[in-house]
């Protein structure tokens, strides 16, 4: 355009500068009309910030369109700072972009309400003004999206680092008296709310649990995950959920050994739950894909807590069976495991092993003769069961 036409446009926009606050307040009123719920929930300080920020944007926007802007304060800097501030305030990018689009429309309508004849605004000039105004919106949106995303990502990293730091301190059993309250507040957990600890050791390079947080989220459960000491672990609030339900949710995601322990006293007992869940997972053989609760592995936990006692128990019970030939040893150990599971009943054991009762009786005599234990004696039967656990033999066979 030539200078004369350019000057007409600048004068038209300059005419609106005294009405900047009025235009801005009409934009805010429309925003509140379109989304009353958000404005009702927003605190007074945030609402006041929106009013002030809208006025500043309209004022600077009109000055820029009127060629009266301050070269030391670029509009892009305002848009960039707004994107960052809105991200910090937790306002979604969608709401911010909607506000800018609405504001642009209101400014355009204000221009159309002017006395066009007096200002020399013909259709050609209005077309150019509209093109420039909506092009400016595209630039504003690009700057806002970039700054909002960058700040949101930075905040997410900061929150994740803080969350993982808290999880580390909770798992370590930090003695800081205010830690439980700090963790409960940061993680959004009610004081004393029961929590669970999930621990899954990395036995291979593959993750022992595949996207467990997504699976839990789909079931309406929040979870906080971290990796430390060669294991994946999580804190899971358990309000309205049982250990069995949590285990059932995680089983489809399991690709390795997983242990679960509950803390009825909330985050203050998380360190103990972490140790128990880790030990429960470690009682499973490497390579096993299974999710277990601590309550399901109590005998194994007792044995692994004292390796010396475990070794002595095996020596005093099932060691003679291990000294036989491989085939005979496997047969007698499988028979013993089945007899223990059947409370020493040869008839029930024969049904499970798909063999004749006399065969089981013959093997039973061999077992009792080699071990010196009587399977009819409850104490001896318990010792033999623990002996099998001590050597890692828990499954019956034929």
Model pLDDT for residues 114-125, shown as the tens digit of each residue: 888 888 888 888
- Distance of alpha carbon 136 from alpha carbon 140, whole angstroms: 6
Over 60: is that where the pLDDT of 395 sits? Answer: no
Question: What CATH number has the domain spanning 193-304?
Answer: 3.30.70.120
CB atoms within 10 A of CB 46: 16
Q: What is the DSSP string of 95-118?
A: HHHHHHHHHHHHHHHHHHTS-HHH
Provide, rounded to the nearest whole percent, the portion of the chain with pLDDT above 90. Answer: 30
- Distance of alpha carbon 374 from alpha carbon 310, whole angstroms: 20
Are 250 and 221 in contact, with CB atoms under 8 Å apart? Answer: no
The pLDDT score that the predictor gives to residue 173 is: 83
Confidence of residue 393 (pLDDT cuts 50, 70, 90): low
CB atoms within 10 A of CB 171: 22
**Ranges of each domain in the chain:** 3-154, 193-304, 306-390
Model pLDDT for residues 196-212, shown as the tens digit of each residue: 999 999 988 888 999 99
Over 50: is that where the pLDDT of 240 sits? Answer: yes
Average pLDDT value for the chain: 87
- Can you tell me which residue has the tokens 């039973």? 364
To 10 degrees, what angle do helices 179-187 and 123-172 make? 150
Model pLDDT for residues 208-225, shown as the tens digit of each residue: 999 999 999 999 899 999
The pLDDT score that the predictor gives to residue 263 is: 92
Instruction: State the burial class of residue 176 (Cβ atoms within 10 Å of its Cβ: 0-12, 13-18, 19+).
Output: exposed
CB atoms within 10 A of CB 293: 21
| Mean predicted confidence (pLDDT) in 248-277 | 92
Are 200 and 232 in contact, with CB atoms under 8 Å apart? Answer: yes
| Mean predicted confidence (pLDDT) in 313-329 | 84
The pLDDT score that the predictor gives to residue 237 is: 93
The pLDDT score that the predictor gives to residue 307 is: 76
Confidence of residue 1 (pLDDT cuts 50, 70, 90): low
Look up the pTM and report it: 0.60
- Distance of alpha carbon 61 from alpha carbon 59, whole angstroms: 5
The pLDDT score that the predictor gives to residue 396 is: 40
CB atoms within 10 A of CB 54: 24
Confidence of residue 20 (pLDDT cuts 50, 70, 90): very high
The pLDDT score that the predictor gives to residue 17 is: 92
Query: Radius of gyration of the chain from Cα atoms?
Result: 36
Say which CATH class 306-390 falls into. Answer: mainly alpha
The pLDDT score that the predictor gives to residue 157 is: 82
CATH topology of domain 3-154: Globin-like (1.10.490)
Over 90: is that where the pLDDT of 5 sits? Answer: no
Q: Is the dihedral of CA 270, 271, 276, 278 positive or negative?
A: positive
Model pLDDT for residues 333-384, shown as the tens digit of each residue: 898 889 888 888 888 988 888 889 899 899 889 888 888 888 888 888 888 8
Over 70: is that where the pLDDT of 294 sits? Answer: yes
Q: In angstroms, how far is CA 340 from the centroid of its own chain?
A: 42
The pLDDT score that the predictor gives to residue 398 is: 33
CA torsion angle for 316, 320, 321, 327 (degrees, to 10)?
160
| Mean predicted confidence (pLDDT) in 124-139 | 89
Confidence of residue 101 (pLDDT cuts 50, 70, 90): very high
* Beta bridge pairs of residue 209: 254
The pLDDT score that the predictor gives to residue 315 is: 83
| Mean predicted confidence (pLDDT) in 171-180 | 78
């Amino acid at each position: 355009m030539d200078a004369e036409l350019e000057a007409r446009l600048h004068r038209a926009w300059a005419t609106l500068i005294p009405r900047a606050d009025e235009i801005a307040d009409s934009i805010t009123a429309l925003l509140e009309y379109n989304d009353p719920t958000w404005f009702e929930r927003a605190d007074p300080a945030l609402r006041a910030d929106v009013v002030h920020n809208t006025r500043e944007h309209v004022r600077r926007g009109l000055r820029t369109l009127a060629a009266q802007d301050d070269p030391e304060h670029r509009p892009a800097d305002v848009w960039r700072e707004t994107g960052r501030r809105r991200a910090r305030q937790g306002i979604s990018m969608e709401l911010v972009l909607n506000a800018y689009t609405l504001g642009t429309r209101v400014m355009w309508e204000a221009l159309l309400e002017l006395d066009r004849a007096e200002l020399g605004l013909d259709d050609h000039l209005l077309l150019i003004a509209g093109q420039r105004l909506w092009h400016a919106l595209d630039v504003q949106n690009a700057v806002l999206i970039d700054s909002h995303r960058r700040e949101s990502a930075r905040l997410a990293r900061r929150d994740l680092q803080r969350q993982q730091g808290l999880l580390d301190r909770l798992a370590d059993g930090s003695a800081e008296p205010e830690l439980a309250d700090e963790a409960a507040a940061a993680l959004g957990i009610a004081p004393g709310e029961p929590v669970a600890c999930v621990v899954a050791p990395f036995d291979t390079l593959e993750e022992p649990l595949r996207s467990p947080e997504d699976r839990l989220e789909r079931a309406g459960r929040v979870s906080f995950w971290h990796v430390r000491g060669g294991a994946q672990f999580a804190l899971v609030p358990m309000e309205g959920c049982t250990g069995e339900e949590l285990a059932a949710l995680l089983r489809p995601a399991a690709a390795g050994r997983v242990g679960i322990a509950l803390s009825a006293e909330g985050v203050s007992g998380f360190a103990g739950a972490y140790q128990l869940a880790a030990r429960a997972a470690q009682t499973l053989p490497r390579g096993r894909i299974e999710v277990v609760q601590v309550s399901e592995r109590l005998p194994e936990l007792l044995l692994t807590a004292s390796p010396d006692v475990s070794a002595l128990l095996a020596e005093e019970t099932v060691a003679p069976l291990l000294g036989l030939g491989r085939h005979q040893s496997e047969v007698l150990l499988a028979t013993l495991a089945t007899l223990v599971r059947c409370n020493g009943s040869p008839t029930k054991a024969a049904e499970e092993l798909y063999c004749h009762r006399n065969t089981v009786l013959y093997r039973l005599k061999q077992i009792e003769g080699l071990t010196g234990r009587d399977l009819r004696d409850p104490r001896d039967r318990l010792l033999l069961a623990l002996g099998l656990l001590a050597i890692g033999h828990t499954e019956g066979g034929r």
